[in-house]
Amino acid sequence: MGAGLSQERLGLEAGLEPESASARMNRYETGTRVPDLELMERIGFVLSVPAAYFYASDDQVAELLVAFHALSPKLRDKALDMVKTAGQRTKTL
């Protein structure tokens, strides 16, 4: 997700302390430390993506999560129905 934010700015906007925001975000990005779910939800909020995006098993799943997250509730219902229907059809083939 390229939001044009520095690690420090992202950390600050997600509520981290100014003294440690840059260092903490760097540790999370490099995998030295693992942020808790609450922080991932705040980071997701800043980046306008669901927290599940960060845990997606592959790029297509991540892309689908972001696209679904951007939909209105009404369109989410329609998309979910469409995917469920397609999945049921695949099972019968």
Give me the DSSP letters along 48-79: TS-GGGGG-SSHHHHHHHHHHHHS-HHHHHHH
Q: How many CB atoms lie within 10 A of CB 22?
A: 17
pTM above 0.85, yes or no: no
pLDDT surpasses 90 at 87 = no
Q: 1-55 in CATH: which number?
A: 1.10.260.40
Which residues have CB under 8 Å from 14's CB, separation 6+? 39, 42, 43, 45, 46
pLDDT per residue over 59-81, tens digit each? 999 999 999 999 999 999 999 99
Q: Average pLDDT of 50-56? A: 96
Return the closest-CA partner of residue 50 out of 34, 37, 36, 33.
37
The mean pLDDT of the chain is 93
pLDDT tops 80 at residue 45: yes
What residues does each domain of the chain span? 1-55, 57-93
pLDDT at 2: 57
The candidate with the shortest Cα–Cα distance to 70, out of 23, 1, 6, is 1
